[in-house]
Every structure is written in structure tokens, then in C-alpha cells.
Amino acid sequence: MNALQKIGKFAGDTFAIWVLLAAGLAMWTPENFTWLAQYITPLLGIVMFGMGMTLKLDDFKLVLKHPKGVFIGIFAQFIIMPGLAFLLAKAFQLPPELAVGVILVGCCPGGTSSNVMTFLAKGNTALSVTITSCTTLLAPFVTPALIYLLASEWLAVDFMAMFTSVVQVVLVPIILGLIAQAFFGRIVTKAVDILPVVSVVAIVLIVAAVVSGSRDRILESGLFIFAIVVLHNGLGYLFGYLTGKLFGMTYEDKKAVSIEVGMQNSGLGATLAMAHFGAVTAVPSAIFSFWHNISGPILATYWSAKASRMEKAAGNGDGNGNGNQAAKKEEKEKVNA
């Protein structure tokens, strides 16, 4: 592992710390960070450009080889989280700006960090990458439509304006990243190692901009919104897993779908909120960005440890048939998980 890879890994592993630090500083001295608001859209564009540089044709081959898992993941992503967001907004009678903010982050595609979490959880990483890629490319069409359908009850939603925004900050940068990869492959290969650091810095700055712009509202209802975000995220993991179980997916696939559904592209949520509704609406996305980078590793660690125990049990045969018993026990655990 070279120096850039080590730095990138460190940035990814400590992401939640940097987000928390940025949020704390923005709360303490908001006047030092409000100027960042004008750069939120280009910052997210940089993240999406980096994603485009890492996308490969192999990421989409799984759609043809195993379409069932991919389509289950895509539909779960765009049904469970938006649906949960709408129900939470109704159940807790959220103010219009915060209700739309919760719905907005729920309607976003999966976040790229979900791929890393699925790998750490010993889930189906290839499935996770494919679902993330597909939902991200579908986002310009699906995300504005869902926001218009679910959030119009609270605030006016301009579908075409939002569609244009998502195309500008998601689709165009990804296409440019793919073009860069095609024409400058050797340079891109070297640059990929630093992308985790660039992504972390960009998202941290976005969070700082959002927090500084809505400091008073966060102080007023921060703990309440934090609880809503934690509930939204946790229910996303749960219902994502149960969806995989309902459709008879393997244990590894269920883990991938669960993490894909629970972890959102909160950077996109914050960008859309700031562009179309204001800083207060971006608060749920900012909190989500911090929280899912804590809950994701916790869940991944649990599943990884469980997988290791199952592998150890499966390998403890003693020549008297106990190996088969261990294998059966492992299969039973997978079915009952």
C-alpha cells in the first residue's frame, strides 16, 4: 500500500470524526464557514466526478448475470427510505422545512461508502457496487420525481429545476469522469488513490456550510432531528435486510441490500436542499452524513465478527461427521439471520 492509499484509508476510517469536528467548529464560529455555501454544488460535483473515474463496465455486468438481486436493491432503495421518511415526517408532525429535509435525504440514491461497509461486513460487495452505480445514474430522474410526489404537501417543489440540479451535480460529473477514464486512463489510475481524501474533504466542507447556515435552528431542535435521522437510518438497515429475506436472497446479498438502503448520498441531499429550500432543510442531510458513518461501521463490524464465527464453526470438523453438522448449523444461522 503506497502513501496515498494509506492517507486515503485513514481519511475514510476517520470520516465521522472530521464531519463531527467540522460541524462543531461551524456551530461555534458560523461566520467563518457561511461563505462555503456558494461552493456546495461544485464540491459535490467533484465527488461525483471522482465516482465517474472509478466506474467500470464490470460494475454493471451483474445486472445481466444476476438481475434479481440488483433490481431488488434498486427498488428497495427508492421505496423504503422515501416511504420511511414520509411516514416519519407525518408521525412526528415535523415543521415543513424539516419534513422536506428528511424526505429529501430519503429520496437520494445510496452513498458510495456503502460499498466499503458491505466489504467490511463480508457481504456481496459486487452487488453493492452495482446497486450504488445504478441508483446514482437513475437519481436525476427518480429523485426529483419522488421529492415532488412526497414533499409537495409541505413545500412547493419545482420538478424541472430539481431535475436540472441533479443532472448538473450527478450525471454530468459522472460522465466527465468516465470520459477522463477513457482518454487519460494512466493518469486517472494514479489519481484514484487520492479520491477518498478529496471526497472526505468535500463532504466535510458541505456539512460545515450547512451547519453554519442553520446554527440557530439546530440549537433549537437538534436533538429531536438527530433522533429522527437515527431512526430513519436504523429502520432503513432493518427493512433493507427484511426485503432481502422476503425475496429469498443469500445472507451475503441481504447484508449488501441492508447497507445499501440504510446509507444515503447525504451530500446530494444537502446540495439539493441548499439550492431549492434553504439551509434548515439541509440539516437532516448534514446529520445523516455524520451518523451513517458511525452506524455503518458498527453494523459492518457486527456482521464481520458473526461471519468469522460461522466460518470458524464450519471448519471445526473432527472426522466424525461434526464438520457436516457445523456446516448445517452455519446454513441454519444464515436462514434465520
Whether the Cβ atoms of residue 135 and residue 112 lie closer than 8 Å to each other: no
Q: Residue 318: inside a domain, yes or no?
A: yes
Query: Given this model, what pLDDT does residue 328 score?
Result: 45
Q: Residue 169: what pLDDT?
A: 86
Confirm whether 202 is domain-assigned. yes
In one-letter notation, the amino acid at residue 317 is G
Q: How far apart are CA 266 and CA 287, in angstroms?
A: 9
* SS3 call for 206: helix
Question: Could you tell me the residue range of the domain that residue 306 belongs to?
Answer: 36-336
Query: So what's the pLDDT on residue 111?
Result: 78
The one-letter code for the residue type at 4 is L
Note the pLDDT of residue 12: 65
Amino acid at 256: A
Please report whether residue 215 resides in a domain: yes
Residue 109 CA to residue 215 CA, distance in Å, equals: 27
To the nearest 10°, the Cα dihedral for 281, 282, 284, 289? Answer: 170
For residue 102, the domain's CATH number is 1.20.1530.20
Place of cell 431542535: 221
- Using a 10 angstrom Cβ sphere, with 0-12 exposed, 13-18 middle and 19 or more buried, the burial of residue 205 is middle
Pair 85, 239: CB distance under 8 Å: no
Phi, psi of 55 (to 5 degrees): -70, 140
Q: Total structural domains in the chain?
A: 1
The model carries a pTM of 0.81
Q: pLDDT of the chain along its 337 residues, tens only?
A: 567 667 767 776 677 788 788 888 988 898 888 888 888 888 888 888 887 887 777 767 777 777 888 999 999 999 999 999 999 999 999 999 999 999 999 999 987 778 888 888 888 888 888 899 899 999 999 999 999 999 999 988 899 999 999 998 888 988 898 888 888 877 777 777 777 788 788 888 888 888 887 787 777 777 888 899 999 999 999 999 999 999 999 999 999 999 999 999 888 888 899 889 888 898 898 888 878 878 888 888 888 888 888 888 877 654 444 444 444 444 445 445 5
Q: Which three cell numbers stand for residue 285?
A: 442531510
4 lies in a domain? no
Residue with cell 430519503: 106
Say if 178 falls within a structural domain.
yes
187, part of any domain: yes
How far, in Å, CA of 215 to CA of 234, rounded?
25
Asked if residue 30 belongs to a domain, the reply is no
CA-to-CA distance for 328 and 291, rounded, in angstroms?
37
